[in-house]
Amino acid sequence: MLPNRRTAAMTAAIALAGALLAAAPAQAATGTASPSAAPKSAPKGDGAKAICKRLPKTEARVAESLKRLGGDATVPGSVARLEQRVADAKAAGHTEVYTYLNDRLTFRKSLLPTLETRQNDLKSVASWCVTQGAAEAGK
């Protein structure tokens, strides 16, 4: 009984290999990597309607992030809390942890101007959406 299973498995493997080898020249002729990979088209517009629709949630998310980053040492995710952790790691002599946390602090501090710029940009977008009437259309 065991040889029959082996024979069936070998036959299936050979058939699969043959099918793959037979399909390779056909794919090479069409020039696509796979038959299901349809060419993607370029965007039809700038997505203004979708941006205006998501604007309230986006503004809230950016404001919440800025509030969290600007919080005191009791707020998880704040710059002040991470600064405290960096100071604690340095005082404890944990140089590897200090380096890791300090790099995170550097990145977190760089988020502040980016998010502030984004918040100002969103205010401009909000006024544009109102003038275009897109804000009402998105609701």
pLDDT means over runs of 10, the chain (139 residues):
59 60 55 63 84 95 96 95 97 97 96 95 93 58
- Domain of 13? 1-31
Q: Which amino acid is it at 50? A: A
Say what the pLDDT of residue 1 is. 45
Say what the pLDDT of residue 135 is. 44
Say what the pLDDT of residue 132 is. 85
Whether residues 78 and 132 fall in one domain: yes
The answer to whether 66 touches 112, Cβ cutoff 8 Å, is yes
Say what the pLDDT of residue 42 is. 79
pTM confidence score:
0.62
The secondary structure of residue 27, as a DSSP letter, is: H
Whether residues 60 and 18 fall in one domain: no
Whether residues 78 and 12 fall in one domain: no
Consecutive H or E run containing 131: helix 95-132
The answer to whether 34 touches 27, Cβ cutoff 8 Å, is yes
